[in-house]
Amino acid sequence: MARHRLAVLGSPISHSLSPAIHRAAYAVLGLDWSYGSADVMGESLAVYIGSRDSSWRGLSLTMPLKRDVLPLLDSRDELVDVVGAANTLLWTADGSVRGFNTDVYGVERSFRDVGVDALALVHVLGAGATAASVIAGVARLGATEVQVLARTPAKAESLVALGRVLGVAVTVVPWGERLTGHPDAVISTVPGGESLPEFSLDVRSSALLFDVAYDPWPSDLARTWTDAGGAVISGLDLLVNQAVGQIRIFVAGDPAVELEKERAVIGAMRAATVAH
């Protein structure tokens, strides 16, 4: 049986635009593949993966599953080990499960798409699995210092260790305390709707904001930035860019192999976000 079924997993998942953008991409590629969604928590992830039949090609993983999936992988791309998180699962030809991380590519690509090819100091809000991918992504853009605002600082120590591997000085700051210095970018990995710290007019007007949340959009944080005349990268950009990496994996098994008609694919994916 040909493998042609795909889905995005997470909780909550009803807001996800992944089905819309993936379906748009496969239409351009002429692939008769299905892509759905399922509300899955970590405790039920193993059962879900284990119960898929040979028609399944892969899965996209979002919160809170990017770390929960690691023990369930038969093999993994090197980047998964570096950041300690996987957002993509592929069933290989022999039926084994391989994990990948395309969030890092998505972060880097989103900055480059707006002409930002170099960073130095970055402020990151939140310390979960996405924050690890964010740090790896900005490291590819030359960032040398990252300050992470964390609700539970002890749980963020893995980010400090990650920084040492990547050559980035990572400092963890308890939530409620002030971040220091003037950042080139502020990146929020916190889900939409959560209360966030206030930033000075100087920071909002000059530092680039990258808010990975996209529901609702614009977020309250993004509004404060645009009200100050600042520049904002939407979580929709990350959604599309990391999905390009996923689709490369689902099509060719390799996130580095560009898609046929990739520019047209990306255009259709972006149009699908607007339609919703």
Q: Is 261 among the catalytic positions? A: no
Digit-coded pLDDT (tens) for 11-60 = 989 989 999 999 999 999 999 999 999 999 999 999 999 999 999 999 99
Radius of gyration of the chain, Cα coordinates, nearest whole angstrom: 18
Q: How confident is the model at residue 196 (pLDDT cuts 50, 70, 90)?
A: confident
Domains delineated in the chain: 5-102+237-275 (3.40.50.10860), 115-230 (3.40.50.720)
Structure tokens at 248: 């490369």
Half-sphere exposure for 246 (CA within 13 Å, toward CB): 30
- In sequence order, which ranges of the chain are alpha helices (DSSP H)? 18-29, 42-50, 78-83, 103-113, 129-139, 157-166, 201-206, 220-227, 235-252, 262-275
Catalytic residue among 22, 66, 98, 109: 66
Q: How far apart are CA 276 and CA 273, in angstroms?
A: 5
In a 3-state reduction of DSSP, which class is residue 168?
coil
φ/ψ region of 53 (left if φ > 0, alpha if ψ in -120 to 50, else beta) reads: beta
Digit-coded pLDDT (tens) for 164-192 = 999 999 999 999 999 999 999 999 999 87
Is the pLDDT at 1 greater than 60? The verdict is: no
